[in-house]
Amino acid sequence: MRRVALTTLGCKLNQYETEAIACGLQKRGWQRVEFNQPADLYVIDTCTVTQQADYSSRQAIYQANRKAPEAKIVVTGCYAQIAKEQLQALPGVGLVVGSDYKDRLPDLIEEWYAGKTLEPNGNAFQEQKDFRVSTHTGHTRAFVKIQNGCQEWCAFCVIPMTRGQERSRPAPWIIDEIKSLVEKDYKEIVITGVHIGKYSWNGLGLAALLKKILQESEIPRIRLSSIKPKEVNQELIDLIASETRFCRHLHLPLQSGDSKVLSRMKRRYTLDEFDGMVRNFAERIPEVTLGTDLIVGFPGETEEEFANCCRYVESSPLSFLHVFSYSDRPHTEASALAEKIDPQTINKRSAVLRELGDQKWQAFQETFPGKTLPVLIESRREKQYNRLTGLADNYIRVNLDGPNDYFNQIVPVRILRRDSRILLGELAL
């Protein structure tokens, strides 16, 4: 049997699409193996959101070529969309397919592997009904894509060039996929896309889609991935706040806590709008985890603007931060700006913001000892103490003692104490 190994770089949407590629190839007779094992075919789903992502994508290609020099390598994803010739020149690479035809990749691989000349039919960037996930290998939670594409053109971002126009998957496809995952005993789905808040199909927006999921499926837990501030309305806030099947966890990318930097970034919201949204969530949903993304060192960022960002984060109800150093991306508006910040300053500022993020996260965790949280136990044990491990609905990792009988079950856990960045608890059955 032909063996295929796959790896993913980047976002949850990429993770979903890699799994969909794997499922499509397995239906066509391929045996999936781990990426560090010998295989006949390696598929690398790349990311290009930063220079580091480009580097990591290339390193994955070199790793596959070293592991099995005679194997065929297929490169896809966002980096493949904008750097096809560069990637084709790397050792072992035989086929490069960007995001434009990623949904058809299982068929394209079959044709290419059989020696046929590839001529993709149909328009680029079109969602395919059969490009879907039937299982998420090695994961307790399952991702479900509802939307793709971006037309916002933020000053720093290359994604509009790599993901195509905004488009939404039909609601029946999504519901059917979720029902199939429920039949396979998944207890949680993560709704993902580039702009899930822009979901629009036959008059249905995101809130209406989520209501249909609640009504037509029996999935116990629904988690939303990243959602942009301008895509959140009162209907969505009310729905999430009133329905216990939604996880009390929202990732709301801010990018800068200074109004002038936000404006230069071409973000389509103000700091006041963002602040009103996160405070609304914090007031409506007890113990909600609110996370955000922040870019440090955007061209022209002054010491005062960075200090404003830190002051806002410190005073906000945000629980955790993902801090990114600004990375020039080709053909973006920010790339042409002259006032670049030197790497040493960026590193220093990033360290300050990460320390602030750690302090906020630890302070948030310290509010939970003595409380009981619903935890989805993963089908593995943590390595250090061989304890059960899982995620609470508000995305806090919890470790506890207990038998394997609780694998893939949502159980009540009484929190005992914080241990570094996780919580320790005991079963509260």
Q: What is the pLDDT of residues 326-340, one digit of tens each?
A: 999 999 999 999 899
d(CA 409, CA 376): 6
State the CATH number of the domain containing residue 212: 3.30.750.210
Burial of 26 by CB count in 10 Å (0-12 exposed, 13-18 middle, 19+ buried)? middle
Residue 174 has a pLDDT of 98
Residue 303 has a pLDDT of 98
Residue 123 has a pLDDT of 77
Residue 228 has a pLDDT of 87
Q: Domain containing 180: what range? A: 138-247
Residue 417 counted as domain residue: yes
Residue 78 counted as domain residue: yes
Residue 393 has a pLDDT of 97
Q: What is the pLDDT of residues 83-129, one digit of tens each?
A: 999 999 999 999 999 999 999 999 999 999 888 877 776 678 889 89
Residue 382 counted as domain residue: yes
Do 79 and 8 share a domain, yes or no?
yes
Do 7 and 89 share a domain, yes or no?
yes
Where a domain ends, among 247, 278, 296?
Answer: 247
Cβ atoms of 322 and 301 within 8 Å: the answer is: no
Residue 119 has a pLDDT of 72
When divided into structural domains, the chain yields a total of 3
Where a domain ends, among 74, 97, 113?
Answer: 113
Place of tokens 């594409």: 149
Which run of H or of E encompasses 417?
A: strand 410-419
Q: Which segments in the chain show pLDDT lower than 70?
A: 121-122
d(CA 357, CA 375): 24
Do 219 and 156 share a domain, yes or no?
yes
Alpha carbon separation from 151 to 82, 219, 230 (Å, rounded) = 16, 32, 14
State the CATH number of the domain containing residue 78: 3.40.50.12160
Do 77 and 149 share a domain, yes or no?
no
Do 154 and 240 share a domain, yes or no?
yes
Residue 117 has a pLDDT of 78
What lies within 8 Å, CB to CB, of 210 at 6+ separation is: 191, 222, 236, 239, 246
Do 25 and 67 share a domain, yes or no?
yes
Do 106 and 144 share a domain, yes or no?
no
Residue 145's DSSP bridge partners are: 192
Residue 261 counted as domain residue: no
Residue 118 has a pLDDT of 78
Do 155 and 74 share a domain, yes or no?
no
Residue 27 counted as domain residue: yes
d(CA 394, CA 297): 30
Residue 292 has a pLDDT of 97
Residue 285 counted as domain residue: no
Residue 114 has a pLDDT of 86
Cβ atoms of 293 and 341 within 8 Å: the answer is: no
State the CATH number of the domain containing residue 418: 2.40.50.140
d(CA 244, CA 239): 10
The phi and psi torsions of 76 (rounded to 5 degrees) equal: -140, -175
What is the residue type of 55? Answer: Y
Residue 39 counted as domain residue: yes
Do 154 and 231 share a domain, yes or no?
yes
The phi and psi torsions of 29 (rounded to 5 degrees) equal: 100, 5
Residue 332 counted as domain residue: no
Do 152 and 64 share a domain, yes or no?
no
Where a domain ends, among 247, 272, 299?
Answer: 247
Do 21 and 109 share a domain, yes or no?
yes
